[in-house]
Amino acid sequence: MHGEYKVPGGKLVVVDLDVTDGHIRNFHLAGDFFLEPDDALDAINAAIDGLSANAPTESITRAIESALPKDAVLLGFSPESVAVTIRRAITRATTWQDYDWQLLRLGSLPPRMHLALDQVLTEEVGKGNRAPTLRFWDFSDPAVVIGSFQSVRNEVDQENAKKYGIEVVRRITGGGAMFMEKDAIVTYSIHAPAELVQGMSIENSYAFLDDWVLDGLRSLGLHAEYQPLNDIATDKGKIGGAAQKRLANGGVLHHVTMSYDMDADKMVQVLRIGREKLSDKGIKSAKKRVDPLRSQTGMSRQDIIEHLIDTFRDEHGLVEGTLTDEERDRAQWLVDHKFSSDEWLYRVP
């Protein structure tokens, strides 16, 4: 069995192994990481050989840590990353390059259509009817998009939302509320098969699925980093957050929203949680919390999106794709019967 894992922000870890009578045999670790002293590699190999093939990531990590010499130095990887790679090998996980990734450019769409497409496209990838897909969003109308488990009345000042013509919608992923104005954010969805994140914890999968976008931001001169569990930040503050949903049929939805040119004053009039966070931190002006991509790059929103698309294409491959009539019809049905319904919106009042 063969497994590979690119450590987010780090190096590539590669393992080869056999499974004989339920145990790991002939284990070999490789990669472009740095490890001192040299014999630490032999210590890791010996620690893994003979372990149960069903050993969880935590047990494998502890075995490696116990075997390492006290003076061992690991750069670009960790005992946990080796354990993740082993689990990926044993569970036959795939890599980015195993797929022909498609890019969907669908133009400006209503918020509820984007939410419906998130569900439909992820279902289709899970069924094997669609290739893994990268999709950037363009909004025709402003919206507050709340997480699947959030309370509408606790998160949104509905009077102010109505005053500004901002609709309130609920997505299928968890996480916090997003204030999304037209041309003010950069949002993308990754619709992937579960095999891509096989063997990873939820936390590791967040960083893994967004490592390419950090590369793209860094190449624009931003000091971008991932802050667990789901934030993307620079040295000037948080710029975005991620959310994820794993469907029973094997599809994985992972989407990220980053602020480009946000009206922070309006945001805290509409989002109650924004007021609470600001109050807790003793910050009088919301503008001190929001640090959009526009001010850090000096680039247009579309140029940033094109740069990120190029980064994904360079790292993982990407071809132009199309939305089928069946997918569009199914999404419209969900807009009409699910995402526009009070039953869905107020499932948590």
Residue 235's CATH number: 3.30.930.10
- Token pair listed for 238: 């948080």
Task: Give the single-character DSSP code of 286.
Answer: G
| Strands of 178-180's sheet in order across | 167-170, 143-146, 178-180
Contact 327, 124 (CB under 8 A): yes
In DSSP terms, 243 is beta-bridged to 255
Predicted confidence (pLDDT) at residue 288 exceeds the cutoff of 70: no
Q: Binning pLDDT at 50, 70 and 90, where does residue 265 land?
A: confident
Alpha carbon distance 27, 337 (integer Å): 53
Alpha carbon distance 59, 303 (integer Å): 45
Cis, peptide link before residue 37, omega less than 30° from 0: yes
Residue 185 shares a structural domain with residue 76: no
Overall average pLDDT of the 302-331 stretch: 98
Contact 151, 348 (CB under 8 A): yes
CATH code of the domain covering residue 49: 3.30.390.50
Domain membership of residue 68 as a residue range? 2-90
Alpha carbon distance 243, 232 (integer Å): 12
Short-list 283, 317, 190, CA closest to 242:
190
**What pLDDT sits at residue 262?**
83
pLDDT digits (tens, 9 = 90+) for 19-31: 999 999 999 999 9
Predicted confidence (pLDDT) at residue 345 exceeds the cutoff of 50: yes
- Token pair listed for 97: 């390059």
Residue 146 shares a structural domain with residue 86: no
Residue 224 shares a structural domain with residue 322: yes
- Token pair listed for 249: 């049929």
Residue 47 shares a structural domain with residue 186: no
- Token pair listed for 149: 């488990």
**What pLDDT sits at residue 229?**
87
Domain boundary among 35, 66, 90: 90
Alpha carbon distance 225, 207 (integer Å): 10
Residue 173 shares a structural domain with residue 307: yes
Alpha carbon distance 220, 231 (integer Å): 19
Residue 86 shares a structural domain with residue 101: no
**What pLDDT sits at residue 282?**
44
Report the phi/psi class of residue 14: left, alpha or beta, with left for phi > 0 and alpha for psi in -120 to 50.
beta
Residue 139 shares a structural domain with residue 199: yes
Contact 226, 206 (CB under 8 A): yes
Domain boundary among 61, 90, 119: 90
**What pLDDT sits at residue 292?**
82
Predicted confidence (pLDDT) at residue 53 exceeds the cutoff of 50: yes
Contact 180, 257 (CB under 8 A): yes
**What pLDDT sits at residue 283?**
45
Residue 184 shares a structural domain with residue 39: no
Residue 145 shares a structural domain with residue 56: no
212 CB contacts (<8 Å, ≥6 apart)?
Answer: 311, 312, 315, 316
Report the phi/psi class of residue 298: left, alpha or beta, with left for phi > 0 and alpha for psi in -120 to 50.
left
Residue 77 shares a structural domain with residue 102: no
Residue 12 shares a structural domain with residue 58: yes
Q: Collapsing DSSP states into helix, strand and coil, what is residue 223?
A: coil
Residue 237 shares a structural domain with residue 285: yes
Domain boundary among 90, 106, 121: 90
**What pLDDT sits at residue 264?**
84
Domains in the chain, number:
2
**The model's pTM:** 0.92
Q: Rg (Cα) of the chain, in Å, rounded?
A: 22
